[in-house]
Amino acid sequence: MVKKTKDNKTNGTNGVKFNEFELTTALHAVEDLMERVLVKFVVLGDTSKAMFDGADLYGDKIEIGIFKNDLVKFVRSTLNALVKDIEWTDKGFTFKVNNIPVKVKIISKSYKFFEHPDFRFYRTGQYEFANPFESYWKSRHFVA
């Protein structure tokens, strides 16, 4: 069943939109998880665009990236122990936080815009992004 939120967006799965509170709550859970496994991350996709623009989070998921060199055996095994229903692929992994999909891309190539990340404050946290952001945004679909 799909339920309407007060801003007329639908909640659920399969590409539907979540409200800002739901996405922010999921983002905080992701931040906590990454701190627990001692992995730095960069925000990607619509999550990064909203933060960069100083807007409320929007979209159908939280999207972050971690660097391949940081995904050591310890991190992978700890993630498997901490995250229920984690799904691994060759390009990253996904899981859900309160039914909000979280997509984690493993960044295996070298990109100039990730060499010296920029940061922004969003709500109560500080998050890293691509620098310059515009270069990332133009090529975001090719980041892997």
Which domains, and CATH codes, for the chain? 15-142 (3.30.460.10)
- Pairing relationship of beta strands 100-107 and 62-67 according to DSSP bridges: parallel
pTM for the model: 0.85
User: Within its chain, how far is the Cα of 113 from the centroid?
Assistant: 17
Q: Which three-class secondary structure state does DSSP give residue 8?
A: coil
Q: What is the mean pLDDT of the chain?
A: 88
Task: Tell me the pLDDT tens digit for each residue of 1-60.
Answer: 334 444 444 444 455 789 999 999 999 999 999 999 999 999 999 999 999 999 999 999
The whole-number pLDDT of residue 4 equals: 40
Q: Which residue has the higher pLDDT, 2 or 141?
A: 141
